[in-house]
Amino acid sequence: MKIKFTGTGDGRGIPSVGCKCQRCSLARKNGGKNRRRTVSVIVTNKSDTILFDTPSSIGQVLNEEKIFHLTAVFLSHKHFDHVGGVTVFEYWPEKILVYGNMSVLGNFEITDRLYENCEFHVLHDKKSVKINNIKVKPFSVAHKVPTFGLIFTENDKMIMHFSDKAEKRLDDYEKRLLKKSDLAIFHAPGFDGGTDHIDVLQVLKIAEKYPSTTFVITHIGHNNLSHDELEKVVSSYGNVVIAYDGLTLQV
Ligand SMILES: [Zn+2]
Ligand SMILES: [Zn+2]
Ligand SMILES: [Zn+2]
């Protein structure tokens, strides 16, 4: 499987609209890896393309990536930075398969056309869905609203994606799966506290315990360190990657 990080910013993205802070000003001026769209990833294999989350940037992402067919779309939870772009699928030329929990699927009556263009499937905790050769297993993640992370498995390869995890504590299920995962993705808007999500320092503590798993940090906010500073911090860890828009990893 291949995973592409098509957006790596937190709910605001960087630069954040209306924000004149140093980080946003520099991102506006210089672009590069400090410019972060709101968060999404695309998982592909030989036959399928799976999109995870539809933030406000998703229309632009699909156009730039020249994606004209999606096998399925999965949604983690109802927060706007994860679903706010979903109305682009009003005009998608084929019926789109959408998987999510009841809390997020309840938002689809925003427009009649969107509602009609989607085929909905309700996800249940730890009940896998087969997307041809890729098994997608949702698991509940501690957050303010009902939220699913996803585990993508193909043959013996596994990607574990925690969406907007609030707590640094891992339950036994998460620990067991982390050990088996090739990639583990965490949303850490802040470096050291300051948000109600897990932060970079907490992810690094977890990464130390699972040396054979590669950890990817994404959903990064404008109050976090710059991309270069974050890379410097993680450089002494052999198994931590700071995501940027366009990063593609193969497992
Ligand atoms: Zn978020
Ligand atoms: Zn800012
Ligand atoms: Zn959220």
53 CA distance to ligand 3 middle (Å):
11
Identify which of 61, 65, 39, 38 has the alpha carbon closest to the alpha carbon of residue 52: 39
Ligand in closest contact with the CA of 103: 3
Ligand in closest contact with the CA of 77: 3
Distance from chain centroid for Cα 102? 19
10 CA distance to ligand 1 middle (Å):
6
Contact by Cβ (8 Å): 1, 240: no
Give me Rg for the CA atoms of the chain.
17
DSSP for 133-166 reads: TEEEEEEE--SSS--EEEEEEETTEEEEE--S--
Q: Is residue 130 left, alpha or beta, with left meaning phi > 0 and alpha meaning psi from -120 to 50?
A: beta
76 CA distance to ligand 1 middle (Å):
9
Q: How far apart are CA 16 and CA 11, in angstroms?
A: 9
pLDDT value for 161: 98
Q: Phi and psi at residue 162, in whole multiples of 5°?
A: -85, 125
Per-position pLDDT tens, the chain of length 251: 999 999 999 999 999 999 999 999 999 999 999 999 999 999 999 999 999 999 999 999 999 999 999 999 999 999 999 999 999 999 999 999 999 999 999 877 778 899 899 999 999 999 999 999 999 999 999 999 999 999 999 999 999 999 999 988 899 999 999 999 999 999 999 999 888 899 999 999 999 999 999 999 999 999 999 999 999 999 999 999 999 999 999 99
98 CA distance to ligand 2 middle (Å):
33
Instruction: Determine the 3-state secondary structure of 227 from DSSP.
Output: helix
7 CA distance to ligand 3 middle (Å):
15
Contact by Cβ (8 Å): 141, 165: yes
29 CA distance to ligand 2 middle (Å):
13
89 CA distance to ligand 2 middle (Å):
30
Q: What residue ranges define each of the domains in the chain, with the CATH number in brackets?
A: 2-243+246-250 (3.60.15.10)
Q: How far apart are CA 121 and CA 117, in angstroms?
A: 13
146 CA distance to ligand 2 middle (Å):
28
CB atoms within 10 A of CB 35: 20
147 CA distance to ligand 3 middle (Å):
8
- The answer to whether the predicted template modeling score (pTM) of the entire model surpasses 0.95 is yes
Which whole-number Å values give the CA distances from 183 to 101, 207, 217, in the listed order?
Answer: 24, 11, 11
Give the angle 244-164-106 at the CA atoms, nearest 5°: 115
CB atoms within 10 A of CB 113: 12
In this structure, what DSSP letter does residue 220 have?
Answer: B
